[in-house]
Amino acid sequence: MKIITYNVNGIRSAMSKGFLDFLQTEQPDVVCLQEIKANEADIDRAAIEALGYHCYFYSAQKKGYSGVGILTKIKPDYVTSGMGHDLFDAEGRVITAHIKGYDIMSCYFPSGTTGDIRQTVKYEFLDAFYDFINHPNNSAKKFIVCGDYNICHKPIDIHDPVSNKNSSGFLPEEREWMDKWFDAGMTDSFRHFNTEPHHYTWWSFRAGARARNKGWRIDYISVSNTMKDQLKEAGIYSTYVHSDHCGSYITLKK
């Protein structure tokens, strides 16, 4: 099974830039989308379904904002939207497809870059999401948590850790949360295979950052430690350009 996570920064924009050609080329079984920025009625479902995908979307109540989705060639047993939190569910932050015994999640963590209020909201989300995943009822589940976490975990994950030490997305409190997240039974699938620097998933639109590879790795596929041995491969699709992010993927052994 091949699973991709991708913050498309507007699904309609990404589709106009060749996103469907990307899917035809890479042939993922499951695609987790973030920041779809569209209501379901405004998405060309037929074009996606023509490639063999079942489509599930969870849009924000605010038009043109946030939203997540899952495209899957394997029909889920069921799909659940939200995490039982009024604010974050209104913002369309989490959707989960239950497929072949896996809980495959597409998650869009809040950004704190617009100021202190949203940074506080981000911390609230991190606490709520951690508790949501680590609820005792979930102890036996096999989680595959795909998404834009909006956090660089370690200095290796950001092009300039020194000048960004006070930047949202690389703050000590955020990075400590990532430590806690992985210590609590999750594996960073990309770092499971690759410990080299200069691998990023987001670049600013400013100052030619992408061409100069001045990026941040803020998109992750975390998997439950209990299924770590099922990981076959993980990587980043840095050469495809449909967004200010790029896709990441894992493949699982049969």
Whole-angstrom distance, CA of residue 140 vs CA of residue 254: 20
pLDDT digits (tens, 9 = 90+) for 39-79: 999 999 999 999 999 999 999 999 999 999 999 999 999 99
HEC per residue, 154-205: CHHHECCCCCCCCCCCCCHHHHHHHHHHHHCCEEEHHHHHCCCCCCCCEECC
Q: What fold does the segment set 2-252 form as a domain?
A: Deoxyribonuclease I; Chain A (3.60.10)
Q: What is the pTM of this model?
A: 0.97
The pLDDT confidence band at residue 20, using thresholds 50, 70 and 90, is very high
244 to 120, 202, 213, 249: CA distances (angstroms): 24, 6, 12, 17
The yes-or-no verdict on residue 238 having pLDDT over 90 is yes
User: Per the residue annotation, which of 29, 148, 188, 219 is the catalytic one?
Assistant: 148
Whole-angstrom distance, CA of residue 22 vs CA of residue 18: 6
- Residues 200-210 have a mean pLDDT of 95
Looking at the chain, the whole-number percentage of residues with pLDDT higher than 90 is 95
Q: Where are the domains of the chain?
A: 2-252
Give the Cβ contact number of residue 123 at 10 Å. Answer: 16
Q: Is 148 a catalytic residue?
A: yes
The yes-or-no verdict on residue 102 having pLDDT over 90 is yes
Residue 254 pLDDT: 78
Label the pairing between strands 94-99 and 78-81.
Answer: antiparallel
